[in-house]
A and B are shown apart, each in its own frame.
Chain A
Amino acid sequence: MIELHLIILAIVVSFGFVFSYLAMKERDLLKALALSSVQSTFFALGFYILAAPDIVLAYLAIAVGAYTALVILAINKTERYEVGE
């Protein structure tokens, strides 16, 4: 009943969860961005296991490349460290 690719999918997606949690907790926005792109890579692997290569191609390029660059440009215009509370 349980197949190997489902187990791999579960492991990959839980790694993605862990990294997204770390990205939320991180105060240094550049580090948070790096953690978020690691999370996107894990989710892209998950999409590949789910047999959706079209999504993988778009998701990797957007989430690791374009999104990261846009947020770096946005951070460049504000401040690197999140303060408050």
Chain B
Amino acid sequence: MKKDVFVALSFLIAFLFVSYAVTVRDVLGIAENPLRPLGEFYLSHAFAHEGLTSHSPEVVTAIVWNYRGFDTLFETFVFFLAIMGALSVLRLTREQGMEVRALEAREPHRHMDTITRTTTKLVVVMIVSISASIALHGHLTPGGGFQAGSAMAVATLLLFAAFSKFTLERQGLTLRHTISAYALGLAIILATVVAPVLLYGGKVLEIDLLPGETGLFNLDVGEYTAVTFGFLTVFLALGVPEWIFKLVLRREMK
């Protein structure tokens, strides 16, 4: 216990020392906070009517999907690889999937009481509308596809907790459907990236290739769909109770 206090105090003292040095004594020379030429370029070009503009007053989204579009495109691919990895580790054949569903249906599935369920319904409606506004206004206000998608995934998680995975799967939110929707999101992104090159020529992800802010909007919507259903796919794959999973896999060994 005494050791804990020492550790905590030394952390706090080190932190206070560093913040004093950075803010008051200005050892890093960042107190003036000058705008560097690159930042100035982004701020003056992101929402302009000529030059290398992306027609978006939201400079962060403009940088993320336009000026640094390749980074974000490859991040999307990394996310794709992570989800494919999770799915290939937790894979089940069609018969095994049906077996898992039959076993899950036999489980006594609990759900929470009325107060929790009603509150969850209200909160989920709010989160879904906020996430839609974050995604669809991603090129105008702070936010974008990834943020909105993760908020949407949280809304579905609340539904998982308040009702049950089985109830949602019976309503149609199965692994097949989420993977299809995920593929749709990726298809929107790829189409937005590739289609203008085929239509107008030019380079992949070149600035100001699509008219107006269409490019940013499409990419945000695609990322929104992809991230939402990507997370849902992982949750659905991980949500199978461990004993059922083990039972099915042991049968495969025999």
- A interface with B by C-beta (< 8 Å): 1-2, 6, 10, 13-14, 17-18, 21, 25, 53-54, 57-58, 61-62, 64-66, 69-70, 73-74, 76-77
Contacts and interface: CB of A to CB of B under 8 A. Distances in A.
Interface of B: 4, 7-8, 11-12, 15-16, 19, 23-24, 60-61, 134, 142-144, 146-148, 150-151, 153-154, 157, 160, 231, 234-235, 238-239, 242
Contacts of B151: 57, 61, 65
Contact of B8 (A6, A21, A74): A21
Contacts of A25: 4
Pick the most buried of B60, B146, B150: most chain A CB atoms within 10 A of its CB.
Answer: B150
Contact of B19 (A10, A18, A66, A77): A10
Contacts of A65: 150-151, 153-154, 157
A76 to B, nearest CB: 7
Contact of A54 (B19, B143, B242): B143
Nearest to B157: A69
Q: Which label, helix, strand, loop or mixed, suits the secondary structure of the A interface?
A: helix
A54 B239 contact: no
Contacts of B160: 69
A58 B153 CA distance: 12
A76 B173 CA distance: 22
B136 to A, nearest CB: 14
Nearest to B239: A73
Contact of B154 (A1, A21, A61, A73): A61
